[in-house]
Amino acid sequence: MLSAKGLLESKPKAGTRIRDRSSWNLLDPDLLAWMFEGEPPAGFVHNLFYLRMIIEPAAAELAATLRTPRHLSRMGHALEQMQEHGLASVVGQAADQSFHNIILEATGNELLISLAGTIGAFLLSLDELLLAAAHPLLGAPGESAFVAIRASTTVTITTDNAATP
């Protein structure tokens, strides 16, 4: 399992060794979860946050042009669950992951859709970090701000003029 994630390398007569970090699959959902079990390195959190800032708006923009009424309905339901249960609850976190998965699905892009597990893992990790306390790099906007951002994204995707009815 660790070899498949790029962490270890086994060679006959040479044994098993830890590979250089540059060879690791840093976006593997399990590896992300492990990184956040303790205090992740600040640089890693910073880089993950920037990756999120690059992927999410582009995916939402594409989803706005390709989404279907079913996508919108499911996004609305996920948003309602987040508002009702809060992001600190298991139900709210599942709804948040579902919300982001629906956006990826609405893009129709199989490569973006394949990132759902990874994005779900880093969403959960980053949101838990931000909800727990102010993080020196990212601050702590609070749970209501997270839900408001999702609501704003939903409105944007729903009202995009290029989207199909």
* 108-137 pLDDT per residue, tens: 999 999 988 887 777 777 766 666 654 444
Do 58 and 15 share a domain, yes or no?
no
Whether 163 and 64 have beta carbons less than 8 Å apart is answered as yes
Task: Tell me if 101 is assigned to some domain.
Answer: yes
Q: Rounded to the nearest 5°, which phi and psi values hold at 17?
A: -140, 155
pLDDT one-digit tens code per residue, 73-95: 999 999 999 888 887 788 988 89
Do 5 and 57 share a domain, yes or no?
no
Number of structural domains the chain divides into: 2
Do 13 and 65 share a domain, yes or no?
no
Task: Tell me if 164 is assigned to some domain.
Answer: no
pTM strictly above 0.85: no
Cα–Cα separations (whole angstroms), residue 127 to 22, 43, 146: 25, 17, 8
Do 86 and 154 share a domain, yes or no?
yes
Do 21 and 90 share a domain, yes or no?
no
Domain interval for residue 93: 36-159
Do 9 and 75 share a domain, yes or no?
no
**Alpha carbons 128 and 130: distance in angstroms, whole number:** 5
